Amino acid sequence: MPVFQLIGVDADDTLWHNERLYADAQARLAELLAEYHSPEWVNDRLYQTEMRNLEHFGYGIKAFALSMIETAIQLTEGRISGRELQSLIDLAREMLAADVELLEHVGNTVAHLAGRYPLMVITKGDLRDQELKVARSGLAPHFRHVEILSEKSRESYSILLERHGVPPDRFLMVGNSLRSDILPVLELGARAAYIPHGLTWTHESAEPPPVGRAGYYELEHFGQLPALLERLESEKAE
Amino acid sequence: MPVFQLIGVDADDTLWHNERLYADAQARLAELLAEYHSPEWVNDRLYQTEMRNLEHFGYGIKAFALSMIETAIQLTEGRISGRELQSLIDLAREMLAADVELLEHVGNTVAHLAGRYPLMVITKGDLRDQELKVARSGLAPHFRHVEILSEKSRESYSILLERHGVPPDRFLMVGNSLRSDILPVLELGARAAYIPHGLTWTHESAEPPPVGRAGYYELEHFGQLPALLERLESEKAE
């Protein structure tokens, strides 16, 4: 019997590029407001607006678009034009329609792992947007399940594993966010492989667990997953 | 063995008031644009914007807010002020924070049914918003499952029932939208109880099935559900 009964995989910036869409959008917002404020100040205020709106708007591109619009209005004291605000809505539509570009090694590795383990996408954000990205990614046939959560917390992972009948010690989560993919999973007593991504939203960053913490692994890229799993399976066999 | 293995219940305007939030918001948008256009024209153009945005924005309050903002910009040719647009974002936040008010008969009836059948909320819209409303409604303990879909189609009901191991002929869906709660369920060979609500979004309306169509029932209010179920259970016993 393999050690792992289920492998959970985060989607945005673990399977495919995502944060760069937000970074590009932020750059366009900063450009729009260039005559009013510095890019640093715009980014800072946008982040504060996003955090204030998180409780009601949640994650995802629609929430981000509303926060961009609100920031633009506030930072210009309402002087921003309708046409400029329309460009922010158009930007949100472009983001939602953007091509899904897989990260390096992902295509082959996912196909390889799917032959050995049931795989589950575990992501958060807009329901429809995430479903469309899974469909457009071409990876859907390799994933047994797709779970879209409103928040990735110790509790939501616990409910998810219980629903699928998977004990935490037989679950491995893979992702690029310490806050969402790694720390809550380790707290549960499951294992987690952290694959850092160059761009990570401030809200998702956290202190990494100490090196050598039980169940915590850090990889450089997605292609290193099969070797990690082989090692963990053979350790158990010894 | 009871006829029904699972009762699915729509949420917005079946369990609690919802459409009136949208109607109020539309009235405020019409008021905001009163010096430019008639309320009818504003509503009509808003609906067209929503339909155009559905593919990318999906359902829910955030999508609605983006469509309101876009409509306001377009119908004023960009002359609407930042402060007025800010009031539309504030409106979305108010809608998301609004109290959940149960429809008549719902509280008692849900508690009663939960003692006899596993109940499942089946709804669409923003993930986080719908989860929060279930939690705030006080009904969560009576529901075995909560499923939030990006679209309610024959296919999505079919996948859902399969995942829960429920054959269509042992499933009853209850809801106020012919398009989302009734017609796709009847197509699957399951049964559906339609409880019309005074206010229904144009997009959700459809021709009702012919009276007497197998598996289709129409009720005046939620409190009539237990009697319908008793009748259906006793018909089977005969």
**Of residues A69, A79, A89, nearest to B89 (C-beta):** A69
**Of residues B66, B73, B148, nearest to A92 (C-beta):** B66
Choose the weakest-confidence range: A3-12, A161-170, A229-238, B114-123. A229-238
**Residue B181 in this model has a pLDDT that exceeds 80:** yes
What one-letter code names the amino acid at B100? V
Task: State the Cα–Cα distance between residues A5 and A165, nearest whole angstrom.
Answer: 10
Q: How many CA atoms lie within 13 A of B42 on its CB side?
A: 21
Domains of chain B: 6-16+100-237 (3.40.50.1000), 19-97 (1.10.150.240)
Range A130-155 average pLDDT? 94
* Nearest-Cα residue of chain A relative to residue B131: A150
Pairing of strands A145-149, A119-124: parallel
pLDDT band at A22 (very low <50, low <70, confident <90, very high): very high
Q: What is the mean pLDDT of chain A?
A: 93
B172: nearest Cα among B183, B185, B163: B185
By the 8 A CB rule, do A69 and A88 touch? yes
**Residue A238: per-residue pLDDT:** 61
Distance from CA of B84 to the nearest CA of A (A): 9
**Residue B206: per-residue pLDDT:** 77
Q: Is the reported ipTM for this assembly greater than 0.90?
A: no
**Residue B238: per-residue pLDDT:** 61
Cβ neighbors of B151 (< 8 A, separation 6 or more) are A128, B124
Let me know if A81 is exposed, middle or buried by CB neighbors in 10 A (0-12, 13-18, 19+): middle
Q: Do B53 and A93 touch (CB under 8 A)?
A: yes
**Of residues B57, B82, B127, nearest to A78 (C-beta):** B82
Task: State the Cα–Cα distance between residues B198 and B186, nearest whole angstrom.
Answer: 23
pLDDT digits (tens, 9 = 90+) for B86-144: 999 999 999 999 999 999 999 999 999 999 999 999 999 888 899 999 999 999 999 99
Task: State the Cα–Cα distance between residues B142 and A142, nearest whole angstrom.
Answer: 35
How many Cβ atoms are within 10 Å of B115's Cβ, its own excluded? 7
Can you give the pTM of this predicted structure?
Answer: 0.89
Q: Do B56 and A93 touch (CB under 8 A)?
A: yes
Distance from CA of A123 to the nearest CA of B (A): 12
**Residue A204: per-residue pLDDT:** 75
3-class state of residue B169 by DSSP: helix
Residues of A with CB under 8 A from a CB of B: 53, 56-59, 62-63, 65-66, 69-70, 72-74, 76-83, 85-86, 89, 92-93, 96-97, 126-129, 131, 148-151
Report the greatest alpha carbon distance in chain B.
Answer: 69
Q: Which residues of B touch A88 (CB under 8 A)?
A: none
Q: Which residues of A touch B70 (CB under 8 A)?
A: 86, 89
pLDDT digits (tens, 9 = 90+) for B47-86: 999 999 998 898 899 999 999 999 999 999 999 999 999 9
Q: Do A58 and B97 touch (CB under 8 A)?
A: no
B160: nearest Cα among B200, B130, B197, B188: B188
How many Cβ atoms are within 10 Å of A107's Cβ, its own excluded? 16
Helices (H) then strands (E): counts for chain B: 9, 6
Q: Which residues of B touch A56 (CB under 8 A)?
A: 92-93, 96-97
CB-defined contacts A:B, below 8 A = 97
**Residue B92: per-residue pLDDT:** 96
Percent of chain A with pLDDT over 70: 99
* Nearest-Cα residue of chain B relative to residue A77: B82
Q: What is the mean pLDDT of chain B?
A: 93
**Residue A3 in this model has a pLDDT that exceeds 80:** yes
By the 8 A CB rule, do A116 and A4 touch? no
B88: nearest Cα among B44, B31, B16, B130: B31
Chain A contact probe: residue of B21, B56, B76, B151 with most A CBs at under 10 A: B56
* The 3-state secondary structure of chain A, one letter per residue: CCCCCEEEECCECCCECCHHHHHHHHHHHHHHCCCCCCHHHHHHHHHHHHHHHHHHHCCCHHHHHHHHHHHHHHHCCCCCCHHHHHHHHHHHHHHHHCCCCECCCHHHHHHHHHCCCCEEEEEECCHHHHHHHHHHHCCHHHCCEEEEECCCCHHHHHHHHHHCCCCHHHEEEEECCHHHHHHHHHHCCCEEEECCCCCCCHHHCCCCCCCCCCCEEECCCHHHHHHHHHHHHHHHHC
